[in-house]
Each structure stands twice: as C-alpha cells, then as structure tokens.
Structure 1
Amino acid sequence: MTLSRRLRLTLIACAGVVSVLVLAVLVTLYLLLQPDRFTAMLQSQAHGAGLELSLASPAHPTLLPYPSLELEGLTLTAQGASTPILLAARGRLALPWRTIFGGPTAISQLEIDSPRVDLGALQDWLGALPPRPASAPLQVPRIDTGVRITQGSVVSGDHLLLNQVTLNAGSLIPNKPFLLDVTARTADDTPVQWHLSATPRMQGNSLQLDDIALHIAHGSTLSLQLAGTARWQGAANASLQLHGTLADKDRGDYSTSLTLTPADQNSPLLLALKLDGTDNHVDLRLPPLALAHWWTQLGSTTSTPQLTVPPANGSIDVASLDVGGMHIEGLSVRAGDAVPAAASSTATPAQPAKTKHAPKPKKK
C-alpha cells in the first residue's frame, strides 16, 4: 500500500519541524550552559587555592548520556611551579537540569579520565600553603560535587607508585555520610583497595568525624578493618581513636589500634600504633610531623639522603617476617625509652633504635 501524497507531505513537514526543534534545543542549551562561565569558575577556584588550571581546548557541551561539559587536556600546576600536580587527558562536568534551564551555576559530579598525579609536586604545594589563622573559626569543608576518577596513576618524579587508579567519592556535606572508594595496583601489580565512610559535623569549634569505617585490602593476603572517631580543633590539636583487626592470611589476625594524641606544651602530636598477634607484637609511638620530615629528607633529590632511624619510640617483636626476597626470624627492636638502661647508668636518655636479637636473613 502506497502513502497518499498529502500524508507524505505531512510526514516530511513533521520531520522538518522536529529537526528544527532539536536544533533550537541544542542552540538554546549551548547558550544556557555558556561553557566559558564554568571554565572561568573552575580557574577562579583553582587560583584561590594557589593553583593554575589550563585546558588544551575550550570546554564544549554534550547532552548524552546526561548534560555535561567536556574538558580536554587538563593541567593543574601550583603557582610559580614548573612540575604539574595533575595531567589528565579528559574531564567532564556533569550538570543538574536546574542549571540547564537557567538555574544557578552548579556541578553535580566531576569526572576525570586517565589523570597522572605527581606526589612530589602535590607535597610541595601543600607545604607552601599558608597556615590557618588561629582566630579563624573551623568549618566542615563542603564539597557538593561528587568525584569520579578512572585509569589514573600516581607517581613521584619518574617512579610509578600506583596505576589503574579508580576513585569514587560522594559529596562532602555536614551531618551527612561521606563515602570514598579507591582501587588501584601497585608498581609490582598487586591490587589494593580502600573504602572509607564517615560523618563530618561541627561540635563547638571542633571538626568531628563520627562513625568512621575504614577498610584496606592489599592483594589477597592482607586486609585491615578499623572503626572509630576523629576530632580536629586546628593546627596540631587533633585526636583519633581507631580500633579493629589486621587479617594476615598466612599469620592470622592482629588486634589493631591507632590513637592520635594532640600536641601540648610538653609533647608533640603523637600517633600510637599497636598490633598484637600470636607471635608478633608492635607498640610504637610516632610523631607524624617529625616522621613526615624524616621521610622528606630521605627522599630528597637536592642533597645526599642519609639512612637514619625514623623518629619512633617503642618496641617491635616479630617471630618471622618476609621482606622482598628475604626471610627474617626473631626480630626484636627497641627504640627511645624502650631501650634497656645500661647497668652503670642512672638515667636513660632517648637512644637510637637497637636490635636485641640479630635477625637471621634467609633467601627464599
């Protein structure tokens, strides 16, 4: 059966009207989105944090699978630095419909494909940030935008630390649960996973993290489950209580606790780590700031690194330990005030770590 001439003309007219409407919608959406305003907003926010954001080409809008702006060739660099903190092939800003139809400028999710993060450049930028004024009130940092990263990598100079990084983070809003999931592979291709959930809220002038649940898995042999709370009142006035279990497929479970004690007039910020298993025991107290400085000096490229004992206080007793291709048995270490006093001494000053029983290295 053939269509009548009138029906054919009607269908052609309808198709033409639909095409014109679609074109009009696309043009209208482009004008409403105004890609330049989102690019300028991101660059302004980056500049306020001491960063410079550049794109290889102007942002352009898309409708499928959802309204978004496509960003090509992202580079994020600290102001005055030469090494980028982040390089990414592509980025995408997912936009809510209310923004599409003339509402306030908002972003519902930030997606980044194949980013490369330089840990050294990131540490340099963080170290150059000005300290928060003591009189400034604390606030929960609000991040309405969810973040998704795929096929990322983390490097330190020319050294690959993590590859195939996938990150999913929800919005960070006071009094609402915050979720963070990360999967990656180490330089030796071992899979690792992190899952964190916590609820941020303000209590007086303190930032409180309640209902912390942390799960870390390293390969198929190690997993860590911790739960607890944290509190921060600015500078080194922070506290943390996490308790849980470290599960080792080969050596059983360890009762685990992490406790962070705030600094006072006599003591620095201090992190206490305890592991208790059948044959292995760790009881260490580490000053995080001094430990970070020690690690920075150890990896310094401007001077010859010196192998020194990390700043620690406590004891380690390990029946057996596998490190790389070495097997160590009967390792016992004492550091700081855990070092036994000499028979002729009347006071025991802090001393470098000493090995009580020499370990017996054996090649596997």
Structure 2
Amino acid sequence: MRRWLRVTLLSAAAVVAVVVATAVISLYVMLQPSRFTAMLQSQAAEAGLQLNLASPASPTLFPRPALELQGLTLSARGATMPILLAARGRLQLPWRALLGNETVISRLEIDSPRVDLDALQDWIAALPPRPEEAPPEIPRIDAGVHITRGSVVRGNQMLLSDVSLDAGSLISGQPFPLSLSAKGADGTPLQMRLSATPRVKGDALQLNDIALHFSQGAIMTLQLSGQARWHGAADASLSLAGTLDHADAGSYNTSFVLTPANDVDPLLLAVKLDGPENHADLRIPPIALADWWSQLDHPQGPRLSVPPGSGQAQIANLDIGGMNVEGLTIQTGVEPEPPAASEKATTTKAAGGKSTKKP
C-alpha cells in the first residue's frame, strides 16, 4: 500500500512538473518577451535614447498577462549620466497579445524611478530642430502610466521625492487625465490634477477643456480652467483663469494669457492677480525668462540682472526666507502713471516698502 502511494505521488508530481514546464514554455512562446523588449528599445532609439535592462524580461499570466522588467536604465545616446533609473517595471498586456498578432501594451508601471533633470535637459538640447513646416503631432500613448516611489533630482540635489503619477491614454479627441503627488525638497506635500482633451485641428494642436488643480499642503490651492493652442515654435496661445487661495493671504482671481509671437513682439505671457491687499499685472516673455533663469545657475557663478518683462505689482506682505517685507511695489519695463493727489502719499510710502527681521 505504501509503495503504491509513493508511486502515485511521484507520478502526480511528475505530471504537475510537466504541466508547469509546458505552461512556462507556452507562456514564453505566446508572449515572446523579446519582441516587446525590442519594441521598447526601438522606440527609444528613434528618440535618440538607449534603453537597457539588468536582466531579460520575464512573463507572468495572472491576474493578467504582463512582463516584469528589472533594472531599467534610460540614457541619451553617448551620454554618461542616465536620464532615468528604475528598480522595476511592469508591462500589462491585453489578452489578445497571447495570440502573438499584436505588440500592444495596455499599461506601464514603474517602481522607484529616479529622473535626473540635468541629463534630461542635455538630451532635449541635443534634439534636432523641428522643421517649421511640419504640423504639430500628439505623441500618441495608448497605454496608461503608473509610477510609484519616484524621485526627481538635479545632480546630487533632491528636488522631489515620493513621486506618484497616474495618467490615462493620450489619444486625439479623448479626455486625458493625469494626477501627480510628491513631496518638495522641504518635505511639503504637493498635489496636481490635470485633465484636458487634445485634438489636432488643421495644422494646430489644441488642448480643450483644460482643468488644473494644484495644492501645496494646506497653505495654497490653485484652480484654473481654459484652453490652449500650438501651431509650432513660438506660435502658441493659452488662456487660463481661476482662483488662488492662500491660507494667510486670502482668495485671488488669477489669469494667465499667452499670446503668440509675431514679426514685432515675442511670445508673451500676461499674468494677473487680484485680491485683498495684493495686485499684480505682469507681461513676461517666457523664452527670455528661461534664459535669465539659466544664468542664475551658470557654471562660473550666478549672473545677476533685472528679469525680463514689464508691468507692476503691489504686495502688502511678503516672506522671503527669514526676511519679512511690507508694502512692496514693483514697477518694471514701463513708466509709472502719476498718482492722484489723494493717493500720492500712500503710493510714495508703498513704493519704498518696509522690511523687518522676523523674530
């Protein structure tokens, strides 16, 4: 009886082993991990990037077909510093992928990615210029994206930590949702939710029904809605309006209007802020502002100059580090209008401002 039981158990174990081995082999044959890996590497190469894995992709079947990726490295071609490092990745696949007829990814999940902004900016700067006559295109992304425990750095400086991101499919004519949460360098929680409907109309890319929500802990909340249009290069326009709520300063009506460049004027961003004791009406050239900002981080030391733009701002109270500034008035790029007689004393006092050290 014992001999018969041992033979039965051994036979059953052998059958199970054969079934498992057959299932694993069939899974590799049906999913063909190499074709998905080759597809990712080919798409990266088209953008001037190199994608490497620490080990070959391994397939799983339950709860749904997927490929597990270990040790992802994404670098610009010929660069020494990677743009992205990630511990793990997972490609979720539709069941029809088992038939081997389509190389389709339904969802991309990345765990613990580390993005270096310096390496990313170097790659963007090295991209070939886009032909002016080429119409804008939406970079179609059929797969949803899910990122957990990410970080954004600049060299050795941590900018964002504990980054989580969820994004849907990016397809023309369909709403695109995106949500992001992170912690700033000082540990302050940040959250952003964005939704918009991208569409190519004629030779222009449009973003309709934009809804943006951004919050910085319990201190500040910004909500905007509107639309945008891009025709290529500096031919871009944007109109967003909404409210900014600050825990200490109150609620403000806020608007951002971007007007395209022409033969005379550059691309220009108009920023307006109206609320209790604070007002701003500024016109800023974004491209010139980016150049000015880059000079603050110049390798040979910061190069200080007046930031580009024009307009005015009246700020009742401003905290900058350990300094508290009261009654600040800023006027740049335009000649100030002469104040009315009844307002002259008040305006003169505000223009000088008063600063005190915080206790």
Residue equivalent to 2:332:
335
Deviations 1:192-249 (A, max 9, x none): 0010000011211111110000000001110000000000111110000000000111
2:355 partner amino acid: K
Pairing 1:232–2:249 present: no
Q: Shift in Å at residue 275 of structure 1?
A: 0.6
Pairing of 1:1-364 with structure 2 (within 5 A): 20-301=18-299, 303-339=300-336, 356-364=351-359
Range with bigger deviation, 206-215 or 34-43: 34-43
Report the residue type matching 1:360 in the other structure. Answer: S
Letter in 1 for 2:308: P
For residues 321 and 94 of structure 2, what CA distance do their matches in structure 1 show? Answer: 50
Deviations 1:141-168 (A, max 9, x none): 2111111111011111111110000011
Partner of 1:240: helix, strand, or coil? strand
Instruction: Note the C-alpha offset of 1:340.
Output: 6.2
Amino acid at match of 2:203: N
Superposition TM-score, scaled by structure 2 size: 0.90
Cα distance in 2 for residues equivalent to 1:276 and 1:233: 31
- Aligned Cα RMSD in Å? 2.3
Question: How many pairs align?
Answer: 347
Distance in 2 separating the partners of 1:339 and 1:291: 22
Give the distance between the partners of 1:264 and 1:325, measured in 2 at CA: 43
Q: CA deviation at 1:27?
A: 1.3
The CA deviation string for residues 173-201 of structure 1, in whole angstroms up to 9 with x for no partner, is: 01100011000000110000010000011
Inter-partner Cα distance in structure 1 for 2:296 and 2:336: 24
Measure the CA separation in 2 of the matches of 1:362 and 1:45.
55
| Distance in 2 between residues matched to 1:284 and 1:242, nearest whole Å | 15
In 2, the alpha carbon distance for the partners of 1:173 and 1:10 equals 57
Q: 1:69 to 1:338 in 2, by over 3 A?
A: farther
Distance 2:14 2:82 in 1: 50
CA-CA distance at 1:21 after TM superposition: 3.7
CA distance in 1, matches of 2:160, 2:233: 30
Residue aligning to 1:345: none
Question: Contact 1:52–1:78 (CA<8 Å) still a contact in 2?
Answer: yes
- Structure 1 residues 103-127: Cα deviation after superposition (integer angstroms, max 9, x where no partner): 3111111111111111111112112
Q: Choose 80-89 or 181-190, whichever is displaced more.
A: 80-89
The 3-state SS of whatever aligns with 2:334 is helix
Code of the aligned partner of 1:25: A
TM-aligned CA distance change 1:151 to 1:338, over 3 Å: farther
> Structure 2 stretches of 5 or more lacking a match?
339-349
How far apart are residue 62 of structure 1 and its match? Answer: 1.9
Please give the alpha-carbon distance, in whole angstroms, between the structure 2 residues aligned to 1:339 and 1:149: 49
8 Å contact from structure 2 (residues 64, 95) kept in 1:
no
Name the amino acid aligned to 2:68.
E
Moved over 4 A (4+): 5-19, 338-341
Residue type at the aligned position of 2:329: S
